[in-house]
Amino acid sequence: MKVAFDIDDTIADFSGKMLQYAQIFDKQQSSKKGGMLNFNSFITSGMYDWTDEEKEKFLASGIYNSIPLLRPINGGVGLIRQLKKEGDEIYFVTARGYDGYSKISQTKRWLKENAIKYDKLLAKNRDKTPALQKYKIDVLVDDRKSCCEMAEQANVYTIQIRNKASWKEEYANNTTSWKEIYFKLLKLAGRKSVLESYPIIVDSDVTNEIDDEFALAYLLSFKNINVEAITIAPHFQLYESDVNFEKNIEKSYKKAFEIVNLTRPELKNRIFRGDAGVINYGELEVSEGVKKIIEVCRNNEKVVFIALGCLTNLAHALILAPDIADKIKLYTLLGEMTPSGLSSEFNMSGDFPATRIVMSKVKDKTIFPTTGFSGIILTKDEIKLHLNKDNKLMKLLYDDFVDVTENKFGCRYKSIFDYILIYYLDCPVEFNERECKVATNTTNVLFKKGRGTNVVCSIRPGNPITKLLERLENFKSEVQA
């Protein structure tokens, strides 16, 4: 699919920067220095009492000097990044260059500096119709109503992204949500989200903390996904310092069974106990979980592997079956971001040899440093707001949350972020990420400049906890005996 985007006020905050520049210009370079007269007018058409010569001077200096400083609009850039990953062609169709002030070289440099990948930049298009027709564009995303109407006349499917600059101009097919645009484009192309497109293995230490319970419940609340296996990762209990791996795996197996029974009971025979130990503790007996990972990967062209705990099971599978490495799309919460790279946290240091093996062998991987999501806090009062007597899943999560936070950790709230991996797989445009190479040594994992691993740094402003709880609240449990 060929998708075209406008630039200014669509993926770049042009009006915001120009407004800042106008305020400075009025104070320093205008003759009257009368300040803003009418906020609802355009800058050079009634907002300020400037002469025609001053307006020309403002445009010439303002446009040229503002372009390098423009902030990318995260949702739009996230959408472009994801569409490019999924194989779509990306075009920018812009009037830049037509005004005589903006330079195309500036725009190319800005796109490169902000790591925005695209196929073609089509400039000097005040009327975008000829360019859209010439390159047989399927979709246009633009903030201006007039541009949307012209594209519609050219039989191009058009979506208006409404923002502060375009709020007064409403085109019929409009939205303020980049997430909504993403799902519209998926439907138009006949595609599904990553979450629904591949068979899934989720590897979890469910009872180590409370995070994984919410993550597993959230994942299984999506009815249209193909979960091939739930494998239990080895762990010791953080709040008990219990290193009896066999006992802890059994606890997690039973908890996973409870959650599956309340969400997708048909998957009860797809829960598998993983290794009863970690690789750095010596030789491991091959568990049913490791065998299942190898089987699922060999039977499918590509598999999404969601790692919520130590990477022991996957590393062991890769040692036994190196051929499965290219079958895996790995998503894992791993490490704390520092200026020099990733430093160790529980999942990484709990079995660092496994981390090294996985990082070196799996090429298609997406890492979520815990630093970017540690501010996602949950309290029992927030859960209580979403409780109802008919939702046994939420009651289970609430009771376990209180048990872990109050009885075992002695606290009133918990940083909870493992479910972010599933949220990302459903809608990646909500996140900020970058691409880096990854090098491993004996003590930590380091980032290097260049292409390679996707690193998801943070989520766009909003309240992802509310979205999690609302989805679980509205989920209807399907309990079987």
Q: Give the CATH number, domain containing residue 356.
A: 3.90.245.10
What's the domain range around 122?
1-190
Give the Cα separation of 111 and 121 in Å (integer): 10
202 strand-pairing partners: 230, 306
Give yes or no: residues 261 and 242 share one domain.
yes
Give the Cα separation of 110 and 106 in Å (integer): 6
Please tell me the predicted confidence (pLDDT) of residue 189. Answer: 95
Give yes or no: residues 186 and 201 share one domain.
no
Please tell me the predicted confidence (pLDDT) of residue 241. Answer: 64
Please tell me the predicted confidence (pLDDT) of residue 478. Answer: 53
Give yes or no: residues 180 and 226 share one domain.
no
Please tell me the predicted confidence (pLDDT) of residue 480. Answer: 41
The total number of structural domains in the chain stands at: 2
Last residue of one domain, picked from the residues 190, 216, 251: 190
Please tell me the predicted confidence (pLDDT) of residue 288. Answer: 97
Give yes or no: residues 127 and 96 share one domain.
yes
Please tell me the predicted confidence (pLDDT) of residue 334. Answer: 87
Give yes or no: residues 140 and 244 share one domain.
no
Q: What is the mean pLDDT of each run of 10 residues along the chain (481 residues)?
A: 96 90 90 85 86 90 86 91 95 89 90 93 93 96 94 94 79 93 96 95 92 95 95 80 83 96 96 91 87 98 96 96 97 83 79 90 93 88 87 93 88 89 93 83 72 86 84 71 39
* Neighbouring residues of 29: CB distance < 8 A, sequence distance ≥ 6: 54, 57, 58
Contact 92, 8 (CB under 8 A): no
Q: Give the CATH number, domain containing residue 93.
A: 3.40.50.1000
User: What are the start-end ranges of the H helices in 244-351?
Assistant: 245-263, 288-298, 312-320, 346-349
Give yes or no: residues 94 and 142 share one domain.
yes
Please tell me the predicted confidence (pLDDT) of residue 123. Answer: 94
Please tell me the predicted confidence (pLDDT) of residue 481. Answer: 39
Contact 78, 431 (CB under 8 A): yes
316, two tokens: 């062991």
Give yes or no: residues 366 and 382 share one domain.
yes
Please tell me the predicted confidence (pLDDT) of residue 479. Answer: 46
Please tell me the predicted confidence (pLDDT) of residue 442. Answer: 67
> Does residue 93 lie in a domain region?
yes
Give yes or no: residues 184 and 218 share one domain.
no
